[in-house]
């Protein structure tokens, strides 16, 4: 799919509507800064609040604006296997390059259930499938043995790992083929996961520092490990500020300060607390982002 920094892109709103012009400007920003992939309709894109017609608009716009220069990967996961299959088929029909599929939330499937769920989804499409493990949100963890079993399915080619458990991620690497890709799902663990045999990051921070996140990845891939680590450390405080409240509340506030989007979210998400916003803004100034 890609090596390096892929952005989990936000969905900008203006009033009750998607701000499609702002969305296009964001995509142009990422193309200019060498972001390696666009991940649309993920957690950061507030996918759970997006209507079916809006989904289609966002996917079509991303594919058109990307122009084949970088892959467009669509978040199609839900807590229903049937619904996920339908979303996946739609993404394929619209021309997506791959899909990102989160574990079924609320249902809390067993490991056997996860294998059945992902296998059925993979069978329904020719697209590459990226597993998405984020137990803090979904309440279920994909165990390394389960990942290894799913890696046997031809078009399940990668995992976005946001468990935060480096030992678990190392075990995933041990159990899966070298062709199976591991992407960091936590921006503060890009370099640690690279050192476990990872291949990059699906990043929230790349919304505001796309060039820097890509340089961090490039430095590691080119063997400039000290440079990569220094960038990870340099932006550690900024990354912490971007997760001081539930994602994507802070990153949208940051993009508003950068004059890219309106600072609007859909309920149940609400505006950033003033004290937290001050911390974020101060760090953005310290890093010369604003």
Cis previous bond, 132, omega within 30:
no
Rounded CA-CA distance 248/204 in Å is 8
Residue among 236, 151, 144 nearest 192 (CA): 236
Q: Is 87 designated active site?
A: no
- Token pair of 146 as six digits: 């389960």
Contact 272, 278 (CB under 8 A): no
202 has binding-site annotation: yes
Q: Is 237 designated active site?
A: no
Q: What is the DSSP pairing of strand 181-184 with strand 4-8?
A: unpaired
DSSP state of 42: S
Other Cβ atoms less than 10 A from the Cβ of 252: the count is: 26
Give me the catalytic one of 160, 173, 181, 252: 160
44 has binding-site annotation: yes
Give me the catalytic one of 87, 132, 235, 260: 132
**φ and ψ of 273, to 5 deg:** -65, 140
Residue among 116, 119, 222, 133 nearest 169 (CA): 133
Provide the CA 141 distance to its chain's centre, in angstroms. 17
Cis previous bond, 268, omega within 30:
yes
User: What's the maximum distance between 2 C-alpha atoms anywhere in the chain?
Assistant: 48
DSSP state of 272: P
Rounded CA-CA distance 270/288 in Å is 27
- CA-to-CA dists, residue 171 to 166, 175, 199, angstroms: 9, 6, 15
Q: Which residues are known to be catalytic?
A: 132, 160
Binding-site residues for pyruvate sit at 44, 202
Binding-site residues sit at 44, 202
């Amino acid at each position: 799919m890609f090596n390096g920094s892929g952005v989990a892109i936000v969905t900008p709103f203006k009033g009750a509507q998607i701000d499609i012009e702002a969305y296009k400007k964001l995509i142009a920003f990422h193309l200019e800064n060498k972001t390696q992939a666009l991940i649309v309709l993920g957690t950061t894109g507030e996918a759970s609040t997006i209507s079916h017609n809006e989904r289609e608009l966002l996917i079509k716009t991303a594919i058109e604006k990307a122009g084949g220069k970088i892959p467009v990967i669509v978040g199609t996961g839900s807590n229903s296997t049937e619904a996920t299959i339908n979303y996946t088929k739609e993404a394929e029909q619209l021309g997506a390059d791959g899909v990102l599929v989160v574990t079924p939330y609320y249902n809390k499937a067993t490991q056997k259930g996860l294998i059945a769920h992902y296998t059925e989804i993979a069978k329904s499409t020719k697209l590459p499938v990226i597993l998405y493990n984020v137990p803090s949100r979904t309440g279920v963890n994909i165990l390394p043995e389960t990942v290894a079993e799913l890696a046997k399915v031809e078009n399940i080619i990668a995992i976005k790992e946001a468990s935060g458990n480096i030992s678990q991620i190392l075990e995933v690497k041990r159990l899966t083929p070298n062709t199976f890709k591991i992407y960091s799902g936590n921006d503060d663990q890009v370099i640690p996961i690279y050192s476990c045999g990872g291949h990059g990051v699906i990043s929230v921070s790349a919304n505001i520092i796309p060039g820097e996140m890509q340089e961090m990845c490039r430095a590691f891939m080119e063997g400039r490990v000290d440079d990569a680590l220094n960038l990870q450390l340099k932006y550690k405080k900024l990354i912490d500020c971007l997760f001081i409240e539930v994602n994507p509340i802070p990153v949208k506030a940051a993009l508003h300060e950068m004059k890219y989007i309106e600072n609007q979210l859909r309920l149940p998400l609400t505006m950033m607390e003033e004290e937290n916003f001050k911390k974020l803004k101060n760090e953005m100034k310290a890093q010369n982002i604003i």
